[in-house]
Amino acid sequence: MEGYGIAVSACKQLDAISAMIPDPQRTRSTRRIYDIAFFNGKLYAITEYDGLQALELDVGRLHEPNSSSRFHKCIAEDPKQQRIYRATDDIDYLVLRYLVECSGKLLMIRRWMSFPHEARVGDHDRTSWFEVFETDLATVPGRWINVDSLDGLAIFLNSECSKSVLASKCAGGVQEDCIYFMHRVFDNPSMQYFGPCVNPLGDSGVCNMRDGNITPLLPEAVMTELRCKQQYLTWFFPTGS
């Protein structure tokens, strides 16, 4: 299949399915995909302009993509949406988009990150706030509905794969209606070889959806210890979580 695409491994075998999202405005061009999520037997993809596309997955025939193995539009793109917004003469906002399956719902999360104009990417990125939207696919075309609660769940964001969990069933003080996040552009070098480390968890924290307040992800004592060690950011979940 031509153009930019996604490869999804079938895990047990080397079978995979490839798909692309063509750009309707440009011949032989494609839209950039910002995140994907499996939901109700389909593979969904979010684009830069909040467009939502879906791909039907033919179980057992992932190694034989055909003409019907293409994304179809569920929610139209909004040309008013952008990836970078100019806030002031000194500050811009970068908007990252995530798709998360959350208790039988498909959510889109917009993460607003501020950064100075002259800063190197990744050095001074700071998450300012989040917006959460639920897909409404009962209408044609579908639409995004803004929500301000996660119904007792907690969401862990990751650029590779995000996950929602029921906070009341988690150990370690996981808070309900909160978004847990980490983000760093560059790996954190070890102080032993490269001198003082950058923030070991990069731009990290816990955002309470009820009041928008963002608090540190870990206590300062733990962060101090981590600064002396090499870090690679990811989330780990117990089986069945």
pLDDT digits (tens, 9 = 90+) for 123-162: 677 899 999 999 999 988 899 999 999 999 999 988 777 8
Q: Look at 106 and 88; give whichever has higher pLDDT.
A: 106
Q: What percent of the chain has pLDDT over 90?
A: 28
**Least confident span in 184-188, 227-231, 235-239:** 184-188
Predicted confidence (pLDDT) per residue in 18-28, tens digit: 345 656 555 55
- Residue-level pLDDT at 94: 87
Query: What is the pLDDT at residue 202?
Result: 73
Q: What is the pLDDT of residues 22-79, one digit of tens each?
A: 565 555 556 778 889 999 889 999 988 999 999 877 655 555 555 445 778 899 999 8
44-48: Cβ within 8 A, 24+ apart: 44/74, 44/99, 44/106, 45/6, 45/21, 45/71, 45/99, 46/97, 46/98, 46/99, 46/108, 47/21, 47/77, 48/81, 48/82, 48/83, 48/97
Residue 219 to residue 178: CA distance in whole angstroms: 17
Whole-prediction pTM = 0.77
